[in-house]
Structure 1
Amino acid sequence: MGSVHEWGRSLMGCRLRSTGVSGFVAIARLDGTPVDVDAVERAVSVITHRGPDGRRSLVDGSVALAHLQHRTTPWPTGFPLQDGRVLVTGAARIDNRAALRDRLGPFDDPVSDAALVLAAYRQWGRACPVHLVGAYAVAIVDRAADRVFLARDHAGLRPAFLARTADRVAVASDIEPLLALEWVTTAVDDGVVVEGLVGAASSAARTIYADVDRLPAGTSATVTTDGIERRRHWRPEAIDPLDLPSDRAYEVGFRELFDRAVADRCRGPAVGSLLSGGLDSSAVTCAAAGHRSQIPTYSLGFDATPVSDEREYARAVVDHVGARSTVVDGDAPGPFADAEAMLSAVGRPIRGNTTYLHWRLYRAAAADVDVVLGGFGGDAVVSHGLGRLTDLARRGHWLGLARELRARAHHRGESPWRRLYTDAVRPLVPRSARRLARRLRDGDPIERLSPVIDRDRARAVAWPDRLRQAQVTPSPLATHRERQVAGLARPNWQFDLEAANALGAAAGVEPRFPFFDRRLMAFCIGMPADQSLRDGVSRSILRRAVELPERVRDRHHKSSLAPAYRRALVDEREQIRQLYDTTPDALWRYLDRDACLGALDRAAEGPFPALTARVYRPGMLAAWSHHRPDAPKH
């Protein structure tokens, strides 16, 4: 048996407010030679912020495992754990605990997440992820089978990155511990850099570092001396369609699953909720109020840009459930004020142009709570149901289509003819025709998507071909269901969830997103399209099944954060200019310096299209180039 070391524990009942979500590191020598314990320590030392409630390591010859714990559930995590010749570490919150205990028990109380994961692996082997519901990324070393088994939850709620050679593999919750290993270089993948500048991704597995891969969401991997074998264990396209007897049955089914998803995520010492006033965050907050009395909420206020402000809707929810409210200033500072701290946490250029606002909310929430709920993902999971309009048009159900279009146009205050083209006709136009039309209208696709990219570099990494790979837009003949599944398959969801996890850890709070509950997702994917779009009302099932304030339930428009973001970004243009002036020359392999500087000047003159592509993403890449971990190896 290996030796377990434990240190750095906090006092009972004392919560440290400097850190958030748990992390882990696993290193295994596939050739059986002893692992370098000092290398493990170097790897762990760069993510100590993830372990306010203790740090445990397990070293057994050719294997070294570490877990940094932030305890946000009533039961222990239990990582790392060894049972004979099987060792496991990771970061996990297992939600179907009762079912697993009944099937795999008996267990000593309180049963840890690690014990459930290890028992599931003992029972089902590499098929165990199918039986695990929750948020997890785990590394299991099975010496009897001479393999290292890795698994990540269906949505990518817990990150997992890996680096490997012919005789060793390392896995971690963050990129930085892997870069701390002497055999992992900081060489950059030029193609991923270019993709990031246009907000696309041709592969979920690649990261900005050539030596570091991502374990994609819903995937497991088996690493042996023969190489690596990846398997998908989450296949939303294979979910059976639902055929319930009535609308009432769908409402009851959705309500029960949604309430369970929220309740499972309300487990923890102190829980709050992010509340924008939109449908998703309002539904989460209202459901959470049934499990947490006077739940604290955190909302953004935009006094300088009232068009972005939604406090009136957030107040309606607060009054409806008797919650406590904290309003965070959303106007200032902008995305680059805390860029160094955010980039240090995430480890790569941050794609989301409003991520800085979530960072601000996480920091505010960390003063009061350990866990914060959010409505992220609701749009995609529940679906607006617009694919139903295309379905009706394709099937020739013209009366039903006309009825839905008139109702939708009425709710949105728009012309039915505009809705006919936008929602029903345009999606039926073949992609090749749309690409040709864009090419004739906009010219070079590189110029259209990001006018500041260096064209020679983009072509050198075969960017036009990669762009086609990155586009997961379904066929014009795709059904509503196929469109929904394709939308959820976009790698950007994983990237955003990873950023939320890392920023929450750095701020001191664990973000949890009920809409990404696997059981709820399966229900929503299986629903008929008319449960998502009904009488012109999008996301109908959510409005019907969850008790919401009337003011929120009946709204059909959402305020845009774009004006506030634009104002903040323009105010920071001199800071971005200074980043450009001091940026290493290597950055200009990817960007046209004159175009970047010209975009800053034009942004100051008034409304300016493609601000994210022309200013935000290049500026964030420049900021990352200042803070990337490129120090010499030990």
Structure 2
Amino acid sequence: MCGIAGYYGFGEDRDLLGAMSQCIVHRGPDGEGYATEGQVGLAHRRLSIIDVAHGQEPMYSADGQVVLIYNGEVYNYLDLRAELEALGRTFSTVSDTEVVLQAYEQWGDDAFDRFNGMFGLAIHDRRNHRLVLARDHFGIKPLYFASFAEDGEKKLLFASEIRPLLAAEKLERKVNERILYRYLQFRIHDEESATFFAGIDKLLPGQKLVLDTTTGEHEVSMFTRLEEELAELASVERPYDAGVVDEYRERFTEAVRLRLQSEVPVGTALSGGLDSSAVVVTINKLMRQKAAATDSLGAKQQTFSAVFPNSINDEEKYADAVLASVQGNVDSHKILPKAHEFADDLLDFVRTQEEPIISSGPYAQYRVMQKASETVTVLLDGQGADEMMAGYIPYYFAYLGQLRKNKQWDKLAKEVASATDIFYRLGRFRLQSKLTLKKDLTIGSLLRKEWTSRFAGESYRVIGDNLKLRLIDDLFRKSLPSVLRYEDKNTMRFSLEGRVPFLDKEVVKFLFSLSDEAIIKDGWNKRVLRDATRGLLPSMISDRRNKIGFTTPEAEWFKLMKERIYEIFLSSSFEYRPYWDQDAVLYAFEEYLQDRNGASTMVFWRLLNVELWLREFIDGEPAPKAGKADKTDYEPNPGKQLDLTLPGGRTFRRYPLRTDVFYRETDFEPTVLGYVSRFVDGLGDAGEDHATAINNSPWYLFVSEKIVAMTQGRSIPVWDIKVSPAARLLSKAVVRNPGGIGLASPWSMQLAIDEVGLPRILYASARSVIGKFQGKKGVFYEVAGGNINAIDGAAGYQVGTSTHSVKLAPKDPDGVAARLSELVRQTVPAQYAATFAGTAIMDANDLGVVCLGNGTDLDQATVEAVFGDNPQGQTTEQTPMSIVVAR
């Protein structure tokens, strides 16, 4: 298992290859290699599995005319090697890589269809002036590419992941909005060659890309008829009997054995479901038989399971039943993912997936792979069985639709009667949802209509009346491609090779040659697998009908990590995206937390995932604030000035002090005094102008009311505010300003109502309307009183808890100012205490200034005029306090 990257059209550019290769070190930490000739460049990262001592890549043919870089494993390579040797070829290594290379030399592109395994490869055929890319039959291994023109010349970039294509810095980072719409609206992805990135595509399962290196022209086509073969085999319908079960068992066992071939340790993922359990017990059988290739397992089979005690998603009891059945021959490793860990890992998880995914479920797999990588290098998994053996409930309906279409009434009645427990559970959940009278929530209600209207012609349909055609469609388009993406991304993130024995090409072809009863019979799906593993699996697994799989307790976690989610939904970047309505999303999430709507967490996950993906892959690094990194206490904030001259001619110098973020737990007075001391202690080195000014003139401490209120517990998380219908309605009538200040949010309006009462707010609103007709401003706040004008809403551009909290005016600001004034005089050296003239508590922003607490010798109007241009900065500048000197 490895990572590959390369290009056409950039000459012999090793720096470009190096930049691309660096992005996929995790896919191949055991080595790297490069090859360039003419316009073709190839890069390879190696994760050594077979023939560890040899098999380095790029690998050259004996005459040096064919060069291969290869990501994957071809499990039938020994058989192919024997066939090639019979044709007169000789080998210098025992690696499957050399077999792939010589197979191409012998059979050309037809070689790819002979491979049974997983691969993404690139071949530079110098002899025939070709660059060939190919992806395995099921798309287990990814291969992305971007073709474009630069200065009129055709170019191509390709890689095992998307990041190398972006790292080449040849492409503009843009969203493929049609794919984004389909994901948000229909909850689908990976069904076609297009990705979420405009200009970046992927080869589909069984496809090849052939580029003529003399012209730069390329063509994408299929190298296999596997999909058509499966449809043709489906029409044969071999009767289902004991002989079929025995043959399936033998074929599946051989598929598992082939995937144990390795020179490094091999383990198994065990969810507790039928599929992964079948892999575990089959390996156990092979170990007891001392079958070939089991040496890679060591003395015991290593299994890895994600468990969620006391959660509805937990499958530990099923995994334990499997482990008990192979007791003495297994070492079990259990991972217990927690909500706070998911919150911590969220950015890396999104980065790992490279494109949005439909739920947080794959995080359980991510954690399993992380743990497994500490013990093994190869991990077998149960992916693919659901899509070929009807593992999901919708497949029952496709089968029943087929029976109805074919008028097979007796069989239809029997199947319905046999699956009544499944239909009962499904119906019960739906009925319970209806009886709760909760409002349904569709994601369409949260998206901006002006954006979604551009995609009115998009639709999504599934095959509803032919079981096998539905399965084939899901294998190659609708379902499996996304599952395999998670598998590849999660394993390779931790330098682990994932192998999926259910996707053995010959096993799949055999299965589709059987009658439908091998898949669904008497209400049981995966019938042939259940029958083939009876006697190996505990009955509670063989006879299990409820499916969970590797997933997370998302509904429970979202309520536990609501602070993190609100932080994202309230952010400025989320607010200004063209795709969704931030207010609608916040309202829906608030109602979800209060259990007042029937929302699925998958709706919120899609929005979260897209926002974080946009930040990571599209937005790029935010430009650093000019001067923030090295600003001293004696410099202004960017775009501001130290000195301000008032209309009467008096000048004041304002020194904004950068601080750490203040929280409720911050010990307010000692912290403030510490920053004041830092300022005066540094005056000796700040320059004569600064030191002289403060020695000879009155100076003041101006403090933002925000940090006062926050440390007083007056900053309230939005989820702790129960918004009334009145607050929601009234907030809509307030003009929203870009700073999040005021009562334009339902949370801040609710606090205003709580402070002075709804009647007074209604009266102030009415008077405000009249005042506008009279040309008066500020009537609402004047009538409402109670420092309502100091309430600030949550704002994504702020720092700390201000991103998701609403802040009331501080308590007793005059008393706070007086107390701070006294403490400053007690703290600073006598020479500075002599000229210190008091403290002011300021509500200052770019829209206006109000002095809430005045402990200075200046009148209110002068204090407010000194801060008329808001020289401080309570957001990213982190300067919520200032030293002010009268010049």
Q: Classify the TM-score, shorter chain.
A: 0.7 to 0.9
Cα distance in 2 for residues equivalent to 1:238 and 1:187: 38
Q: 1:344-359, aligned counterparts within 5 Å?
A: 344-359=351-366
Q: SS where residue 138 of structure 1 aligns?
A: strand
Give the total of aligned pairs: 575
Q: Is the 8 A contact 2:304 2:332 kept in 1?
A: yes
Q: Could you report, residue by residue, the CA deviation over 1:312-362 in whole angstroms, capped at 9, with x for unpaired residues?
A: 111111011122222211443364431211222222223343011111111
Cα distance in 1 for residues equivalent to 2:578 and 2:321: 50
Q: SS where residue 376 of structure 2 aligns?
A: coil
Q: 5+ unaligned residues in a row in structure 1: which ranges? A: 1-20, 423-442
Q: Could you report, residue by residue, the CA deviation over 1:404-438 in whole angstroms, capped at 9, with x for unpaired residues?
A: 322222x648499x79xx9xxxxxxxxxxxxxxxx
Corresponding position: 1:152 with 2:147: no
Cα distance in 2 for residues equivalent to 1:520 and 1:113: 21
2:40 paired residue number: 63
Corresponding position: 1:520 with 2:511: no
Cα distance in 1 for residues equivalent to 2:144 and 2:93: 30
1:316 paired residue number: 321
Corresponding position: 1:297 with 2:303: yes
Q: SS where residue 316 of structure 1 aligns?
A: helix
Distance 1:77 1:589, change over 3 A: farther
Task: Find 2:614's aligned residue among 598, 615, 625.
Answer: 625
Corresponding position: 1:177 with 2:164: yes
Q: SS where residue 519 of structure 1 aligns?
A: helix
Corresponding position: 1:212 with 2:220: no
Cα distance in 2 for residues equivalent to 1:559 and 1:25: 36
Corresponding position: 1:24 with 2:7: no
Corresponding position: 1:465 with 2:457: yes
Task: Find 1:277's aligned residue among 269, 272, 276.
Answer: 272
What TM-score do the two structures reach when normalised by structure 1? 0.84
Q: Is the 8 A contact 2:382 2:500 kept in 1?
A: yes
Task: Report 1 or 2 for greater relative contact order, CA contacts < 8 Å, sequence distance ≥ 6.
Answer: 1
Cα distance in 2 for residues equivalent to 1:343 and 1:217: 24
Distance 1:139 1:595, change over 3 A: same
Shift of 1:68: 0.6
Cα distance in 2 for residues equivalent to 1:328 and 1:89: 35
Distance 1:248 1:176, change over 3 A: same
Corresponding position: 1:254 with 2:261: no
Q: SS where residue 218 of structure 2 aligns?
A: strand
Counterpart residue identity of residue 400, structure 1: K
Shift of 1:108: 2.4
Corresponding position: 1:565 with 2:560: no
Counterpart residue identity of residue 332, structure 1: A
Q: 1:524-603, aligned counterparts within 5 Å?
A: 524-546=511-533, 547-559=536-548, 564-584=553-573, 588-603=577-592
The structure with more radius of gyration: 2
Distance 1:561 1:517, change over 3 A: closer
Cα distance in 2 for residues equivalent to 1:375 and 1:607: 38
Q: SS where residue 355 of structure 2 aligns?
A: coil
Distance 1:492 1:54, change over 3 A: same
Q: SS where residue 523 of structure 1 aligns?
A: helix
Q: Could you report, residue by residue, the CA deviation over 1:153-203 in whole angstroms, capped at 9, with x for unpaired residues?
A: 011111101112342212100101111113222122122222222322485
Q: Could you report, residue by residue, the CA deviation over 1:271-305 in whole angstroms, capped at 9, with x for unpaired residues?
A: 22121211111111111222445312122222242
1:16 paired residue number: none
Q: Is the 8 A contact 2:119 2:136 kept in 1?
A: yes
Cα distance in 2 for residues equivalent to 1:407 and 1:203: 33
Q: Could you report, residue by residue, the CA deviation over 1:235-288 in whole angstroms, capped at 9, with x for unpaired residues?
A: 323332455466122112211221122112222321221212111111111112
Cα distance in 2 for residues equivalent to 1:400 and 1:126: 45
2:109 paired residue number: 126
1:237 paired residue number: 228
Q: SS where residue 81 of structure 2 aligns?
A: helix
2:18 paired residue number: 41
Task: Find 1:227's aligned residue among 213, 217, 228.
Answer: 217
1:367 paired residue number: 374
Cα distance in 2 for residues equivalent to 1:202 and 1:559: 22
Cα distance in 1 for residues equivalent to 2:350 and 2:576: 16
Counterpart residue identity of residue 272, structure 2: G
Q: Is the 8 A contact 2:11 2:38 kept in 1?
A: yes
Cα distance in 2 for residues equivalent to 1:276 and 1:585: 35
Q: Is the 8 A contact 1:237 1:482 kept in 2?
A: no
Cα distance in 2 for residues equivalent to 1:563 and 1:571: 13
Q: Could you report, residue by residue, the CA deviation over 1:40-95 in whole angstroms, capped at 9, with x for unpaired residues?
A: 11111222222221111122332221111111335655421223332221202011
Shift of 1:502: 1.9
Distance 1:261 1:497, change over 3 A: same
Cα distance in 2 for residues equivalent to 1:561 and 1:245: 33
Distance 1:525 1:91, change over 3 A: same
Moved more, 257-266 or 392-401: 392-401
Cα distance in 2 for residues equivalent to 1:499 and 1:142: 32
Q: Is the 8 A contact 1:281 1:374 kept in 2?
A: yes
Corresponding position: 1:495 with 2:482: yes
Cα distance in 2 for residues equivalent to 1:334 and 1:611: 22
Distance 1:218 1:313, change over 3 A: same
Distance 1:113 1:185, change over 3 A: farther
Q: SS where residue 135 of structure 1 aligns?
A: strand
Q: Could you report, residue by residue, the CA deviation over 1:358-381 in whole angstroms, capped at 9, with x for unpaired residues?
A: 111111111211122221221111
Cα distance in 1 for residues equivalent to 2:425 and 2:166: 55
1:407 paired residue number: 418
1:165 paired residue number: 148
Cα distance in 1 for residues equivalent to 2:239 and 2:361: 42
Q: 1:100-111, aligned counterparts within 5 Å?
A: 100-105=80-85, 106-108=89-91, 110-111=93-94
Distance 1:286 1:243, change over 3 A: same
Cα distance in 2 for residues equivalent to 1:129 and 1:608: 51
Q: Is the 8 A contact 1:95 1:134 kept in 2?
A: yes
2:772 paired residue number: none
Moved more, 194-203 or 589-598: 194-203
Distance 1:412 1:459, change over 3 A: closer
Shift of 1:482: 1.4
Shift of 1:219: 1.1
What TM-score do the two structures reach when normalised by structure 2? 0.61
Distance 1:561 1:231, change over 3 A: closer
Q: 1:371-450, aligned counterparts within 5 Å?
A: 371-384=378-391, 386=396, 387-409=398-420, 412=422, 414=424, 448-450=442-444
Cα distance in 2 for residues equivalent to 1:587 and 1:55: 42
Q: Is the 8 A contact 2:358 2:602 kept in 1?
A: no
Cα distance in 2 for residues equivalent to 1:505 and 1:562: 19
Q: SS where residue 72 of structure 1 aligns?
A: coil
Cα distance in 2 for residues equivalent to 1:619 and 1:415: 30
Counterpart residue identity of residue 106, structure 2: Q
Shift of 1:583: 4.9
Shift of 1:23: 0.6
Counterpart residue identity of residue 88, structure 1: L
Shift of 1:151: 0.6
Counterpart residue identity of residue 402, structure 1: A
Shift of 1:552: 0.9
Q: CA RMSD in A?
A: 2.8
Q: SS where residue 325 of structure 1 aligns?
A: strand
Task: Find 1:616's aligned residue among 602, 605, 612.
Answer: 605
Cα distance in 1 for residues equivalent to 2:581 and 2:261: 50
Q: Is the 8 A contact 1:484 1:525 kept in 2?
A: no
Counterpart residue identity of residue 539, structure 2: E
Task: Find 2:188's aligned residue among 200, 206, 211.
Answer: 200
- What percentage of aligned pairs have identical amino acids? 26
Q: SS where residue 419 of structure 2 aligns?
A: helix
Distance 1:54 1:601, change over 3 A: same
Shift of 1:566: 0.4
Shift of 1:563: 8.2
Cα distance in 1 for residues equivalent to 2:354 and 2:45: 18
Cα distance in 1 for residues equivalent to 2:484 and 2:302: 22
Distance 1:598 1:299, change over 3 A: same
Q: Is the 8 A contact 1:334 1:356 kept in 2?
A: no
Q: 5+ unaligned residues in a row in structure 2: which ranges? A: 288-296, 431-438, 622-887
Q: Is the 8 A contact 2:27 2:47 kept in 1?
A: yes
